[in-house]
Structure 1
Amino acid sequence: MARIAVIGAGMGSMAAAARLAVAGHRVTVYERSATYGGAVGSFERDGFVFDTGPGLLHLPAVWRDLFLKTGREPLERCVSLVQVDPASRHLFADGSEATLPDASRAGIVTALESALGGGAGERWGAFLGRARDAWDRSRRPLLEEPLWPDWRVLERDPYPAPKRRGLLRTRQAATVAEVGAWELDDPRLAALFEGCVLGYGLDPRRAPASAALLPYMEQTFGSWYVEGGLRELARAVYERCAARRVEFVFGAEVVSVVERDGRAAGVVLADGSAAEADHVVAGGGPPSTAPGRELWGEGDVRPPEEAGGGPLPGRLSVLLAVRGARQASAVHRGVVHAPDTGVEAAAVFGGRVAELPTVTVLRPDDPRTRPDGRHEAITVSATVAGHGDGGRAGVDWSDKALRERCAETLIDAAARSLGESPAALRERVLWHEILTPAETGGIPAPALAGPGGRHLRPANTTRLPGLYLAGGWAHPGGGLAHSGMSGALVAGLIVEGADFKGSR
C-alpha cells in the first residue's frame, strides 16, 4: 500500500483519488479552499440554485465508469440524470432559428434542413460523418491512453477534410473557420460549429479542423442534466471518495512538492508542515517543486501558459433570479449566436470585450433550483477574454461598470432567447449575480490533434518520477468528461506502472 498525496479536490483529482483508494492505496487530498469540486461549483440565494461552472454533462459514460469501477453503487443511484431533449435551440443573426433534437443525427439533419433549407441539413450531416471518422481515428490516443512519448505522430489532423481544386493549387480546410467557410458553406452552420468550439475555450480561427470532435461528441452521445445542478455530481464523487476512505484536508494549500533521491516524496503546505508520500498527484496545474527541477524536457508538450501571450479565456455568467413560471414549451438550452464569430474570437483572444458575443441561456426544469413553481433560475453566459490588466494581458474584470455593462448585453440576448423584450425580462428579474474570469478563472481547453501539437496538453507523467498531473490542465485537457478521463489515466499509471496501456 502506497501513500499518495493529491493536490486539489477538483473533479480530475477526485476521480484519480477514488480509483487509487479502491486499488488499496492510502490517499490524502489537500485542498486550499473550503470545499471540493474545483470549477464545478454552485451559487445559492433565496431558494435559487445556480451552477457556476459547467451546466450540462456530455459523455456521462466517463463518470458511470468511475462509479462502476469504485463500488457496487452505480452513478444513477447517486444522482438523477436527465437527458436534455431537445438539446438546444439556436437563434442566428439573420433572424432564423433551429431547434435540434438530442443524440439523433438523422433528427438534427432534418431539423436543420427544415429550419435553414438550401441543403443545410445534408451538409451538416456530411460534416458529422467526417467528424465521426476523426473521432474513430483519434479517440484512443487522445482520450483513453497516456500521451505517447512520440506525441508528434499526433501532429497530423485526423479530420478528413475534402480536397478542393483551386486555380493554383488543391486546398483543404485546416482550421475550424475554414471548415465553416469551405465545407458548411452557410454562415449559420459555421456559427453552429464555431460557437461550440469557442465555448470550449478554443479560437475557431486557429483551432485545427479536428475540433469537429466537439460538436460530434455532443450531438452523438447527448446532453445530460443532473437534477439539482452539476454540483450534485461533484458531491456524489466526493462521497464516493469518502466511502473509499480517501482523507480530505480542506484549507490546506500545497506550496511545493518535496523531492528526495530523485523522485517526488511528499508535499509542503503553506503553514510550513510537510506530508510524506510515495506518489504525488497534482490537479489544477503544475506545482512548484524542489529548486532547479524541470518538469519537462526538450520536446515535451508544455503547459499553454509557458508559450506566452495573454491569459486563457474565461466565462462571463449572469445568474438571474426571475419571477414567473417556466413555460412548458421552454427549451433547456438556448444559444443566441454572434453576427460574426471571427470578430468575436478576435476580441476574446485579443484581450478585449466582444460587442456582440455568442450567448448561452440555460433554463433547467428543476424544482430544486428555484424556491417554488412561480419562479425560475436562469443562467446566461458567454466566453470572454481572460482576467488581466487590459490589452493583450486580458480584460480588467474587477471594473464594476464594465461588469454591469457586459451583463446588460447578456440579458438582452437572454430576452431574445426567451421570446420577450429586454424591458419585460428586466421587470421580472428579482436580482442578478455576475461572475467573471476574475472569480472563476480560465477555461482549460480539451486536447486536439493537429499541426505542431499546439492543442495538446502536458502528459500525466513528468520528468520528476512519482509526480503526476491530473485534471483539465493535463492530458487529455479540459472539460468535465476529459477531466474524468485524466483521473483514470493517472490512476492506471500509478497502479499498473509501465504496463499501463490505457483505459479499457
Structure 2
Amino acid sequence: MARIVVIGAGMGAMAAAARLAVAGHRVTVYERAETYGGAVGRYERDGFAFDTGPGLLHLPAVYRDLFVKTGKEPLERCVGLTQVDPASRHVFADGTAVSLPNASRAGVVSALDAALGAGAGSRWGDFLNRARDAWDRSRRPLLEEPLPADVSPFARDPYPALRTGLLRRPAATLAGVGRRELRDPRLAALLESYALSYGLDPATAPAAAAVLPYMEQTFGTWYVSGGIRALADAVYARCRERKVEFVFGAEVTGVVVKDARAVGVELAGGEVAEADHVVAGAPLPALYRDQVLGWDSQDEWPRHQHGVRTGRVTVCLALRGAREAGAVHRTVVHSADRAEELDALARGRLCERPTVVVLRPGDERLRPDGDHESVTVTATVPAGEPWASENLWGAAQEGAPEGAVEGAVEAFAERMVEAAAAAVPGLRERLLWRAVRTPADTFRETGVYQVPGPALAGAGGALLPAANPAPLGGLYFAGGWAHPGGGLAHAGMSGALVAGLIVEGADFRGSQ
C-alpha cells in the first residue's frame, strides 16, 4: 500500500483519488479552499442556486465508468441523469432560430433544413461525417491513452478538410472550415459556438476542433438533477466511502524532492506530508521552480496555455415568475457582429455584442419555489492578468476614475443580459437581482484565470496539455490542465489515466 498525496480536490483529482483508494492505496487530498469540486462550484442566495462552472454533462460514460470501477452503486443511483431535448436552441444574428434534437443526426439535419433552407442540413451532415473521421483517428490516443514520449504525430490535423478554392488548399482553422465547407454564416456561427463554449478562438483553433460538435451531437447532452454541483457531491461522497482523507483549508506550497523524485508536499504552515506518489490536480506555482521541473514560468503549464487565454463571465439571474411550459434548457444567442466578437477575443478586450449561452434548468432544487426561476448566462472572454489589475482592455487605463474596472464589467454583463432576453420571455420585468462572476472569481477559487480547453491534434501540437507523468519521478498531473485537457468528461479521463499509471506503472496503455 502506497501513500499518495493529491493536491487539490477538483473533479480530475477526486476521480484519481477514488480509483487509487480502491486499488488499496492510502490517499490524502489537500485542498486550499474549504470545499471540493474545483471549477464545479455553486452560488447560492435567497433560495436560488446556480452552477458556476459547467452546467451540462457530455460523455456521461466517463463518470459511469468511475462509479462502476469504484463501487457497486452505479452513477444513476447516486445522481439523477436526464437527456436534454432539444439539446440546444440557436438564435442567429438575423433572427432565425433553430432547435437541435439531442443525439439525433437525422433530426439535426431535418431541423437545419427547415430553419435555414434546403441543403443546410445536408452540408452540416456532410461536415459531421468528416468530423467523425477526425474523431475516429484521434479519440483513443487523445482521450484514453497516456501521451507518448513522441507527440509529433499529433502536430498533424486529423480533420479531412475539403480542398476548395483556386489553389485547392484545405482550411487550417475551424473558422476556415465554417466559411469554406458550410457556406452559410448561420451554420458557421453554429460551428464556432462549440469552440467558444470550450474556450477556443475559432479563428485560431485547428480544424480538428470539429470533433467537439461531433462528440456532443453524437453522444448527447445530459443534465444532472440538482445541477452539476450534485455530480461533484457524488464523486466526493464516493471518495469518502473509499476512505480517501480530505484536508480542507490546507494550501500546498511546494513539492518535496529527494534523489530526483517527489517524496511529499510542503504545506503553508511548514508541515511536510510524506508520500510515495504525488498527484497535482491544479497548476501549482511551486512546480514551476527550476529545481522541480525546470520550467521558467507559469506559462509553461501546460503547453496549450500559450494558445488558450480565455475565461468566462457568468451572470446569475434570479427571476420572479414561473418558467413557461416548453421552455428550452439551453439557448445559444449568437453575436450580432461575429467578426467584432472574434477580433475582440484575439485582442484581449471585451466585445460589444457577445455570444451568450443561456441555461434554464427548470430544477426545483435551484429555486425557492415554483413562482421563481434561476437562469445562468455565460460568455467566453479573454482571461489573464488584466482581470487582476486596474486595466480591463482600455476600460480603466492609468489615471482613469475609481471603479472603472467594475463599471466595464457591469456594462458587459448588461450587454449579456440584453442578449439573453432573446431566450427568456419578459426577462427585464422578471429580474429580481443578478450576480456577476468573472475570471477574477475563477482565479480566487482555482488559482488560474483561464478555463482549460480540451486536447486537440493539429496546430503543430500547440493544443496538447501537459502529460500525466511529470518529468520528475513520482509526480503526476490530473485535471483540466493535464492530458486530455479541459471539460468535465476530460477531467474524469485524466483521473483514470493517472490512476492507471500509478497502479500499473509504465506498462499502462490506457483505459479499456
Residue type of the alignment partner of 2:256? V
Matched residue, 1:158? 158
CA displacement 1:439-498 (0-9 Å, x = unmatched): 023110101000310111110011100000000001110000000000000000000001
Q: CA deviation at 1:287?
A: 4.9
1:245-264 superposed matches below 5 A: 245-264=243-262
After TM superposition, the structure 1 = structure 2 runs for residues 428-443 of structure 1, keeping only pairs within 5 Å, are 428-440=430-442, 441-443=449-451
Residue deviations 1:48-80 (CA, integer Å, cap 9, x gap): 110000000000000000000000000000000
Partner Cα distance (1:183, 1:17) in 2: 44
Determine the structure 1 residue equivalent to 2:206: 208
Please say which of residues 285-294 and 467-476 is displaced more in the overlay: 285-294
**1:413 maps to which residue?**
419
Q: Does structure 1 residue 462 correspond to structure 2 residue 464?
A: no
Quote the Cα distance in structure 2 between the aligned partners of 1:84 and 1:68.
Answer: 24
Q: Which residue of 1 aligns with 2:445?
A: none
Question: Match for 2:415: what amino acid?
Answer: T
- Check if 1:404 corresponds to 2:410: yes
The match for 1:192 is 190
Shift of 1:307: 7.0
Deviation at 1:367, TM superposition (A): 0.7
**Paired residues of 1:258 and 1:290 also in contact (CA < 8 A):** no
The aligned amino acid for 1:417 is A
Structure 1 length normalisation: TM-score?
0.94
Whichever residue aligns with residue 382 of structure 2, its letter is A
SS of the equivalent of 1:371 reads coil
Q: How does 1:51-450 map to 2 (within 5 A)?
A: 51-164=51-164, 166-167=165-166, 169-289=167-287, 292-293=290-291, 295=293, 302-304=300-302, 312-389=309-386, 395=393, 399-418=405-424, 420=425, 424-440=426-442, 441-450=449-458
Partner residue, 2:400: none
Q: What whole-Å deviation, never above 9, does each CA across 1:337-391 have from its counterpart, x for those lacking one?
A: 0134343122123210111011111001211111111110011111111143389
Contact 1:350 1:394 in 2 (8 A): no
Query: C-alpha displacement at 1:289, in angstroms?
Result: 4.4
Which residue does the alignment assign to 1:484?
492
Question: What is the one-letter code of the residue matched to 1:215?
Answer: P
Q: Structure 1 pair 251/152, CA: closer, same or farther in 2 (3 Å)?
A: same
Matched-pair contact (CA < 8 Å) for 1:324–1:428? yes
Counterparts of 2:160 and 2:285 in 1: how far apart (Å)?
Answer: 38
1-side partners of 2:367 and 2:75: how far apart?
A: 24
Cα displacement (A) at 1:288: 1.6
Say whether the 8 Å CA contact 2:304–2:464 is kept in structure 1: no
Contact 2:456 / 2:464 at 8 angstroms: preserved in 1? Answer: yes
SS class of match (1:30)? strand
Q: What is the alpha-carbon distance in structure 1 between the residues aligned to residue 29 and residue 98 of structure 2? A: 45
Superposition deviation, residue 302 in structure 1: 4.7
> Which secondary structure state, in structure 2, belongs to the residue aligned with residue 17 of structure 1?
helix
| Paired residue secondary structure (1:349) | helix
Q: Residues 429 and 291 of structure 1: is their aligned pair in 2 closer, same or farther, counting only changes over 3 Å? A: closer
CA distance in 1, matches of 2:363, 2:291: 50
Instruction: Determine helix, strand or coil for the equivalent of 1:129.
Output: helix
The one-letter code sitting in structure 1 at the alignment partner of 2:72 is R
**Shift of residue 394, structure 1, vs aligned partner:** 6.2
The alpha carbon displacement at 1:427 in A equals 2.2
Q: Does the 8 Å CA contact 1:156/1:450 hold for their aligned counterparts? A: yes
Contact 1:324-1:375 within 8 A present in 2 as well: yes
Q: How much does 1:185 deviate?
A: 0.5
**Kept after mapping to 2: 8 A contact 1:448/1:455:** yes
For 1:458 and 1:213, locate their aligned partners in 2 and report how far apart those are by CA, in whole Å. Answer: 20
Question: Percent same amino acid among aligned pairs?
Answer: 64
Q: Is the 8 A contact 1:204 1:342 kept in 2?
A: no
Q: 2:482 aligns with which of 451, 470, 474?
A: 474
- Distance in 2, matches of 1:220 and 1:355, equals 33
Contact 1:296 1:463 in 2 (8 A): no
Q: Secondary structure at the match of 2:477?
A: strand
CA distance in 1, matches of 2:213, 2:390: 29
Contact 1:351 1:393 in 2 (8 A): no
CA distance in 2, matches of 1:494, 1:254: 21
Instruction: Determine helix, strand or coil for the equivalent of 1:372.
Output: coil
Further displaced range: 402-411 or 27-36: 402-411
In the TM superposition, what is the alpha-carbon distance from 1:404 to its structure 2 partner? 1.4
Contact 2:455 2:485 in 1 (8 A): yes
* Distance (Å, rounded) in 2 between the aligned partners of 1:11 and 1:308: 23
SS in 2 for 1:427: helix
Conserved 8 A contact 1:297-1:463 = no
Q: What is the Cα deviation at residue 297 of structure 1?
A: 8.5
Count how many residue pairs are aligned between Structure 1 and Structure 2: 495
Separation of aligned partners in 1, 2:155 and 2:364: 47
Give how far 1:401 is off: 1.0
**Residue pair 1:350, 1:392 contacting (<8 A) in 2 also:** no
Query: Structure 1 CA distance, aligned partners of 2:147 and 2:391?
Result: 30
Kindly state the Cα deviation for residue 417 of structure 1 after the two structures are TM-superposed: 1.4
State the Cα distance separating 1:198 from its structure 2 match.
Answer: 1.2
CA offset at residue 501 of structure 1? 0.2
1:152-203, Cα deviation, whole Å (9 max, x unpaired): 0111111111222x33x22111110110000011000000011110111111
Contact 2:358 2:420 in 1 (8 A): yes
For residue 446 of structure 2, what is the aligned residue in structure 1? none
Q: What is the rounded CA distance, in whole Å, between the counterparts of 1:400 and 1:307 in structure 2?
A: 26
TM-superposed deviation, 1:305: 6.9
1-structure distance, mates of 2:304, 2:197: 23
What CA distance in whole angstroms lies between the structure 1 residues aligned with 2:193 and 2:5? 39
Q: Which amino acid aligns with 2:437?
A: L
CA contact (8 A) 1:33 1:251 kept: yes
CA offset at residue 425 of structure 1?
Answer: 2.0
User: Does structure 2 conserve the Cα–Cα contact (< 8 Å) formed by 1:257 and 1:290?
Assistant: no
Contact 1:323/1:375, CA 8 A, preserved across alignment: yes
Q: Supply the AA of the counterpart residue of 2:140.
A: R
